[in-house]
Chain A
Amino acid sequence: MNSEFLIHLILWAPLVGFAINGIFGSSFSGKTAGFIACLGPLTGFVSTVLLWSGFDQTIQINYYRWFGTPDSFSVDFSVMVDQLTLLMLFIVTGVGTLIHLYSVGYMEHDKGFVRFMSYLNLFIFSMLLLVMGSNLVMLFAGWEGVGLCSFLLIGFWYKNPDYNKAARKAFVMNRIGDLGFMLGIFLLGLEFRTLDIPTLLSSMEHIESGDPKIILITILLFIGVTGKSAQIPLFTWLPDAMAGPTPVSALIHAATMVTAGIYLVARMSGLFNLAPFTLDVIAWVGLATAFVAATIALRQNDIKKVLAYSTVSQLGFMAVALGCAAYSTAIFHVMTHAFFKALLFLGAGSVIHGLHGEQDISKMGGLRNAMKSTHLVFLIGTLAIAGVPPLAGFFSKDEILAAAFSHSIWYFVILALTAVLTAWYMFRLYFATFHGSYRGSKETEAGIHESGLVMLAPLFVLAFLSVVGGFAGMPETISSKHLVSDFLKPVVADHAHSVSHSFEYILWGVTLVLLVLIVWLTNKMYSVNSAEVFRSGSGWVGRILEGKYYLDEIYETLISGPLRSTGTWFKNVMDPGVIDQAVKLPGLVFRNAGVALRPLQSGIISWYMISIVLGLLAMIYLFLF
C-alpha cells in the first residue's frame, strides 16, 4: 500500500475513534464502544507493520502551513516517519493496542467506560503526534496533548478529591517542565530561524561543541524532559498518578507519556552531542533519580506505588544512557521497559481486579494458587525488570551499564547498586504478593478470582515480548548484530561505546550470583504468613524511605507554602488595600464632584439666565481687557 496513506491512517485512526466514541458514545453499548476504541490503535499497529515492511527512507508529509511569514519563519503542520519514529510507533501502537484490549475487560463495569476508552484513544493520538511531528511545534502539540490526557485519565474518577489532586499535581508539574521546553524551542527558533527537526539537525554541523547558547538550549529542553519523563526534581507527580485506573498507569508508564522525554533527547541527539556539559547534567540527574526512586520503592506497600517508583528508577537508567550519548541504548531500554512495565502494571491490575480493589501488599500473599496465569506473567515481568538473562531487561540494562562503565566508573558503581536494589524491591513485591499465605480478611479470600480472557490475552502477549524483546539488541559478545542500534543508526548520533569482552563476562557472572542471592533472601524475608515485616520500621533510614525522602513536604515548605502565603497576602492586603482602592478612586472623585455641582442645576430659569449673563460679562471682560 501507499506509505503516505499508511501514515495518514496511523495518525488519524485513533483521533477518529476518539471522535466517534466521544460524540456518539452515550448511545453505544459497552461492546461497541470498546470495539471502536480498540480499532484505532490496532489500525495504527497494522499500518505500522505494513509501513515498516516497505520502509526504505524517511517520509515527510506536509499537511499545510500552520503559521508563519512567507519569507522568514514558518511552521508547517507536517509529520515525518524515520527509523526512530517507526520504532516508537511500534511501541505506542503495539503496547497501546494491548492496553486498550485489557481496558475493555478491566473497565467494563465502570459507568464512565465509553469516556475512558475515548480518552485512551486521544492519548494514543497525542503520543503519535509527538513521535511523528517533524518540527518542534508539532512535537510540542503532542507533548501538551499527552499532558492533557494524563490529567483527564489520572483524575478519571473525578468524584474522589484526592484523585483530582493527583491529576492537578501531574498537570502542574508537567507545566513547570513545559515552560523550560517552550523556552528552549523559542531560543532554537531565534538562533536557527527554523524549527523543522531535520533542518535543525543538519545545521548543527557548523556549530562548535560546547557553544554556551547550545548548552542553554539543551538545558532548557532537559527541564522539559525532567517534567515529562519524571526525573529529579519533577518526578513526584508520577507515583501520585497511580490514582488513575490501572490501565492508565500502564499506558502512562510504559507506552506513552514518560517515554516522550527520552524520545525528545534521542530525536535531538545531534544537538545534545554539542553540549557535553548538558550530557553530564542529564547523566547525574538520571543517576540520582534512578537511585532515589529505587530506594523509595524498597519500603512501599502499595503494589502500584512500587511499580511507579520502579518506573521512575528505570527512567533514570534511560537518562543515564542518554547522558552517556548512548541514545539508541536508551531507546532500546524504552522498548524493553515498555514490554515488561506494561506487563507488570497490567498484571498488578489483574491482581487488584481479582482482590476487588485491594492494593496493599501486606494484605495479599499466596495468590499463586488462586491466580495461576497472573502469577506466571507477573513472574516473567519481575524476572525481566530484575535483569535475569536472557529476558528483555537483561540486555538493555546490561547495555546501559556497559555505556556507563565506559564513561565513568562512578556512573557504573551507582547504576549497578541501583540495579541490585531494583531486583530486591521487585522480588520483594513478587514474593509478598504471590507467596506466603493470604494475609487479608477471610471474607475477601473467598472472592479472589482469576481475570477473564480479555485481560489475560494482552498479558500473555506482553509476557512473550518481555521474554524475547531483548534479543533485538544482543551485546557484541553474543551476536554482532544489534538490531535496534543498527536500525536507528541513520537518525541517532550515538557515541561508540565498547567494553572488553572479559568485563562483560564478569558483569554477567556477578549479576547472576547477586540475583540468586537476592531471590533467596527476599523469598526468606517476604514469603511470610504475617504482615509484620511490612509494618513501618523504627530506624530513621526506613522512615525516610517510607516518607519518600519527604520530597513532597520539602516542596510544600519551600515552594508551594511560600507561594500560597504570598497569594493569601495579596488576596487579603494587596487586593482590597491597593488595587481596589485605586479602582475606586476615580469613581469616588466623579461622584463627589457630582454631589458638589448638583445644586447648580436648580431648574430656576432666572438663575440660568443670570449665570449666562455673568459668564458673558466675564468673557467680555477677559477678551477686552
Chain B
Amino acid sequence: MENQIPEIFNAIPHTHYVLLSTILFVVGLIGVMIRKNVIIVFMCIEIMLNAVNLMLTSTSAYYSHAGGQIMVFFTMAVAAAEVAVGLAIIVMIYKNLHSTNIDVFQRLKG
C-alpha cells in the first residue's frame, strides 16, 4: 500500500492546488509585466517559480511519482543560484545609478 496517496492529501482535491498555483503564476506574470521596481519584478519571478514548484510537488504527490519532487529540488537549486547572480547585478546597478527602476535596464540595449 505504499503507492497510495496519504489520507491528508485526499482531504484537499488536487484541483485546488492547480487553481492556486495558476493564480500565483498569473499574479507573478502580471507583476513582472507591469511593475517598475526591479526588486518587485524579481520577487514576482520567484512567485512564478514557486507556483510551478507547488504544481510539481502536488501533482507528484497525487500520482505517487517522485519525478516531480526531484525536479523541484533542481528548480530550487537553480533559483538560488539565479537569485545570487540577479541580486548582485541589481546591487551593482543601484550602486552606479542610484535607481532600481526597471527602465534603467534599457541602457543595456546594444
Contact = CB atoms under 8 A, between A and B. Distances in A.
Interface residues of A, number: 9
Nearest to A606: B33
Contacts of B32: 606, 609
A613 interface: yes
Contacts of B102: 605-606
Interface stretch (A306-314, A469-477, A578-586, A596-604): A596-604
A609 B29 CA distance: 8
A613 B29 contact: yes
A610 B34 CA distance: 9
B108 interface: yes
A543 B103 CA distance: 91
Contact of A606 (B34, B108, B109, B110): B34
Contact of B109 (A603, A610, A613): A603
B29 A603 contact: no
B106 interface: yes
Counting contact residues on chain B (CB < 8 A from A), the size range is 10 to 19
Contact of A604 (B29, B41, B106, B110): B106
A436 B34 CA distance: 114
Contacts of A610: 33
Nearest to B108: A603
A603 B33 contact: no
A601 B33 contact: no
A132 to B, nearest CB: 69
A605 B105 contact: yes
Contacts of B109: 601-603
B33 A609 contact: yes
Nearest to B44: A609
A613 B105 contact: no
A605 B41 CA distance: 10
Contacts of A602: 106, 109
Contacts of B107: 603
Chain A binding surface, main DSSP class: helix
A606 B105 CA distance: 11
A613 B29 CA distance: 8
Contacts of A605: 41, 102, 105
Contacts of A609: 29, 32-33
A603 B34 CA distance: 15
A609 B41 CA distance: 11
Interface string B20-49: 000000000100111000000100000000
B41 to A, nearest CB: 8
Contacts of A606: 32-34, 102
A610 B32 CA distance: 9
Interface in B80-107: 102-103, 105-107
B104 to A, nearest CB: 10
A407 to B, nearest CB: 86
Interface in B28-72: 29, 32-34, 41
A208 B110 CA distance: 79
A610 B109 CA distance: 18
A109 B107 CA distance: 76
Interface of B: 29, 32-34, 41, 102-103, 105-110
| CB-based closest 3 A-B pairs | A603-B106, A603-B109, A609-B33
24 contacts: A601-B109, A601-B110, A602-B106, A602-B109, A603-B105, A603-B106, A603-B107, A603-B108, A603-B109, A604-B103, A604-B106, A605-B41, A605-B102, A605-B105, A606-B32, A606-B33, A606-B34, A606-B102, A609-B29, A609-B32, A609-B33, A610-B33, A613-B29, A613-B33
Given A603-B106, A605-B105, A606-B33, 12 more contacts: A601-B110, A602-B109, A603-B105, A603-B107, A604-B103, A604-B106, A605-B41, A609-B29, A609-B33, A610-B33, A613-B29, A613-B33
